[in-house]
Amino acid sequence: MTKLSEFVKSADWKSEKHVPAIDCPESVKAGDWFTVAVTVGKEIPHPNTTEHHIAWIAVHFAPAGGKASFEIGRFEFSAHGQSATGPNQGPVYTDSTVSVRARVTVPGTLFATAYCNIHGLWEADRPLQVS
């Protein structure tokens, strides 16, 4: 039986343009707000054209020892240069970068997933300590 997890790709974001790069503090104080930024194409730009683009990014937090992850946010990118005059003729493009503020009470792992309309689903993770 095929599972979705078999199609999720991962690599080092410094050498693969599809992998989400997660920027946030390594450690936060329990209950304090902090910012999580996620970028696809941070080191190697992703094209984000009508034909080839990042459709969305999702950010999850999995508490250490927990049995489920919690979705922090899901961000869709709707403008990729499309228009009635043709592909890449539109007046607006989006860049696959998002940021969200969150607060946690326990340590865990942040996960970011991104979907490329051509190359599928990509993921990255980053541990988060809490003091």
pLDDT of the residue at 22: 98
Return d(Cα 82, Cα 48) in angstroms, integer: 11
Is 52 tagged catalytic?
yes
- The number of beta carbons lying within 10 Å of the beta carbon of residue 12 is 10
pLDDT of the residue at 72: 98
Is 53 tagged catalytic?
no
Beta strands in the chain (DSSP E): 20-23, 27-28, 34-40, 54-63, 70-76, 97-102, 108-116, 120-130
- Domain boundaries 8-130, corresponding CATH code: 2.60.40.730
Tell me which of 18, 53, 60, 80 is the catalytic residue: 18
Strands 34-40 and 97-102: antiparallel
pLDDT of the residue at 17: 94
pTM of the model: 0.94
Is 46 tagged catalytic?
yes
From the list 38, 57, 61, the residue with the least C-alpha distance to 129 is: 61
The low-confidence residues of the chain, meaning pLDDT below 50, are none
Structure token pair of residue 117: 């309309």
Is 3 tagged catalytic?
no
**Which DSSP string corresponds to 15-52?**
T-TTSEEEE--SEE-TT--EEEEEEESSSS-----SSS
Is 24 tagged catalytic?
no
pLDDT of the residue at 1: 76
Is 76 tagged catalytic?
no
pLDDT of the residue at 130: 98
Tell me which of 14, 26, 43, 52 is the catalytic residue: 52
Tell me which of 17, 42, 53, 60 is the catalytic residue: 17
Tell me which of 46, 53, 60, 80 is the catalytic residue: 46
pLDDT of the residue at 10: 92
Structure token pair of residue 110: 């942040």
With contact defined as beta carbons under 8 Å apart, do 53 and 47 qualify? yes
